[in-house]
Structure 1
């Protein structure tokens, strides 16, 4: 099933905006001919970083994924995805968003 590239970029951008509001640094990578992904960095602990991709599941529904092929949430649920990414990248003692 073909992926709508603009939709992938839009969802990754929305997730990036939500994570920036939670004090994470983000970089959207959209190199032509390569999968698009969002690099998320915890500036309080830069070793805590991860890439997030938006890819369709077996039914063609767009989901956010960690690169080790672990599903995060459907891409339409930006807040829940940001919650999950924040839990993965939070440093000890990080105040709740």
Structure 2
């Protein structure tokens, strides 16, 4: 019986999505980060015992906008994301990397 070769997640991503630095891989990683951001918002909202409607009122947006943000943060403006996390009383930090320099925005 032939032995099966095991592959790491990184190897599979390289093979099926593209190597780091390619357009396809960058888009994949961006989508993944946005999905995680939406999940963090949903989880934190639920931990704070808030409905989407209540969070929307705190932020000044409709319930539907909170739902869209939780399900797909891609379309959200950074200002809205910041307001959501402030309403959730959550600390946020942004890291922006420009070539060899690092900028932190808190």
Higher helix share: 2
Structure with the higher fraction of residues in strand conformation:
1
Structure number with larger C-alpha Rg: 2
TM class by smaller structure: 0.3 to 0.5
Higher relative contact order (CA 8 A, sep 6+): 1
